[in-house]
């Protein structure tokens, strides 16, 4: 199979949280024999051992737009919401941005993809990974009309991306002004979001969860596990209470334990030590040095059934002992009590940490069981095969 993939970004230096996952997915496509051509919607075209890169036809326009948007947010002091809220309406600024993009950027992408498909008629399908849906209105329909190729959209930001949610402060409102019905099928990371996608007009809906590449996220030997409890993640957006209950307050109560965090925008986290960001790969060392690794999932994901995020799979792939906040549908991936632990309050978190820190064998056994489950069911090769099966079913 040969795929043309439009990826939101291929640049790991930019703050797009799904980019590491897309690198792993594209690598997995290569490993199962799929020929991948990747074009970034934002930022530079980056070649790799696993895909051929096509140019971003609107790179300078996108860079200019991103700079203006970031500057405006700093000027206006825009802050992320603390809770997800229903917000179907677009602001005047949102409408202006969308219409400007559709006028100047969308035609560039339409011509660019048409050119690639004309030069390479052996491409079997087009897959769009989280590029803003309403920035590409009409493109999928034109590809199907002119080239007869199925076009699939994968929304990896579900359910926060839905109109019924307020979205992430760092992202776009992607469904306002979009036409999901023009795609062959919409694929997402959320089982619980399927109903709303159908209500938005999607002709067909599928769920493909996140996963992890066990070669990338693998256990490594460390001199010692000198960190007792670790959390890595960015911002308190939609999870401020659990950051307080699972990290900040326990760090104050368990004064003999070393708490650490790697991230930004976490606010007051008590006695927790902030670790330096030296590289993306350094996170693996931090996780393996930690006896307990926290999975604090944002409410938007945790409250909608089986809305997958990367973190549980990454931690499981490294054989970490995971303690998570309540996460609807987590049993779809891991068995609570055997492959990870769930806590429901700060008091339960403190007691669970105390217990695990004094029972090394049980802690290690849970981490080993989580990695074994990941290898059986949740690698990105599993996800790549599932996506290929979906796409081939429409040919």
Spatial neighbors of 195 by CB under 8 A, at least 6 apart, are: none
pLDDT per residue as tens, the chain (395 positions): 999 999 999 998 876 679 999 999 999 999 999 999 999 999 999 999 999 999 999 886 766 666 655 565 566 555 444 444 445 556 666 677 777 777 788 999 999 999 999 999 999 999 999 999 999 999 999 999 999 999 999 999 999 999 888 655 445 678 989 999 999 999 999 999 999 999 999 999 999 999 999 999 999 999 999 999 999 988 888 899 999 999 999 999 999 999 999 988 899 999 999 998 767 778 899 999 999 999 999 998 999 999 999 999 999 999 999 999 999 999 999 999 999 999 999 999 999 999 999 999 999 999 999 999 999 999 999 999 999 999 999 98
pLDDT of residue 61: 72
pLDDT of residue 76: 56
Task: Report residue 5 as tokens.
Answer: 């993939």
φ, ψ of residue 196 to 5 degrees: the values are -70, -35
Q: Is the dihedral of CA 328, 330, 335, 341 positive or negative?
A: negative
Q: Is the dihedral of CA 231, 235, 238, 240 positive or negative?
A: positive
The fourth-level CATH superfamily of domain 227-377 is: Glycogen Phosphorylase B; (3.40.50.2000)
- Sort residue 148 into left (φ over 0), alpha (ψ -120 to 50) or beta: left
pLDDT of residue 25: 98
Task: List 126's β-bridge partners, or say none.
Answer: 4, 151
- Which fold would CATH assign to domain 2-211+380-392? Rossmann fold (3.40.50)
Yes or no: say if 347 and 244 are a contact pair by the CB < 8 Å rule.
no
Reported pTM: 0.92
pLDDT of residue 281: 74
Domain boundaries, the chain: 2-211+380-392, 227-377
pLDDT of residue 159: 93
Task: Report residue 373 as tokens.
Answer: 């489950």
* Same fold for the pair 2-211+380-392 and 227-377: yes
pLDDT of residue 285: 94
């Amino acid at each position: 199979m040969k795929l043309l993939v439009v990826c939101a970004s291929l640049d790991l230096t930019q703050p797009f949280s799904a980019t590491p996952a897309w690198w792993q997915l594209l690598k997995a496509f290569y490993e199962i024999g799929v020929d991948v051509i990747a074009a970034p919607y934002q930022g530079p075209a980056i070649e790799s051992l696993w895909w051929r890169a096509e140019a971003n036809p609107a790179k300078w326009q996108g860079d200019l737009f991103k700079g203006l948007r970031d500057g405006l947010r700093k000027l206006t002091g825009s802050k992320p919401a603390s809770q997800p809220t229903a917000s179907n309406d677009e602001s005047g600024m949102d409408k202006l941005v969308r219409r400007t993009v559709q006028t100047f950027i969308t035609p560039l992408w339409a011509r660019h993809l048409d050119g690639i498909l004309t030069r390479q008629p052996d491409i079997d399908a087009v897959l769009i990974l989280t590029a803003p849906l309403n920035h590409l209105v009409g493109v999928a329909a034109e590809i199907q009309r002119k080239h007869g190729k199925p076009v699939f959209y994968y929304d990896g930001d579900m359910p926060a991306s839905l109109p019924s949610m307020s979205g992430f402060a760092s992202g776009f409102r992607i469904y306002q002004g979009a036409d999901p019905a023009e795609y062959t099928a919409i694929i997402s990371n959320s089982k619980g979001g399927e109903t709303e996608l159908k209500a938005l007009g999607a002709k067909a809906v599928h769920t493909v969860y996140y996963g992890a590449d066990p070669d990338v996220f693998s256990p490594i030997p460390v001199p010692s596990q000198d960190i007792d409890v670790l959390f890595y993640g960015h911002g308190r957006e939609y999870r401020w209470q659990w950051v307080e209950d699972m990290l900040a307050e326990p760090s104050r109560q368990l004064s003999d334990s070393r708490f650490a965090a790697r991230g930004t925008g976490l606010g007051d986290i008590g006695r927790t030590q902030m670790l330096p960001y030296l590289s993306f790969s350094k996170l693996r060392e931090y996780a393996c040095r930690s006896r307990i690794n926290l999975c604090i999932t944002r409410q938007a994901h945790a409250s909608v059934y089986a809305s997958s995020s990367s973190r549980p799979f990454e931690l499981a792939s490294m054989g970490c002992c995971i303690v998570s906040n309540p996460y609807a549908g987590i049993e779809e991936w891991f068995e609570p009590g055997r492959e990870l632990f769930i806590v429901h309050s700060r008091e339960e978190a403190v007691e669970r940490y105390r217990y695990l820190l004094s029972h090394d064998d049980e802690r290690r056994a849970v981490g080993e069981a989580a990695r074994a489950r990941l290898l059986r069911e949740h690698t990105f090769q599993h996800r790549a095969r599932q996506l290929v099966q979906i796409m081939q079913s429409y040919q």
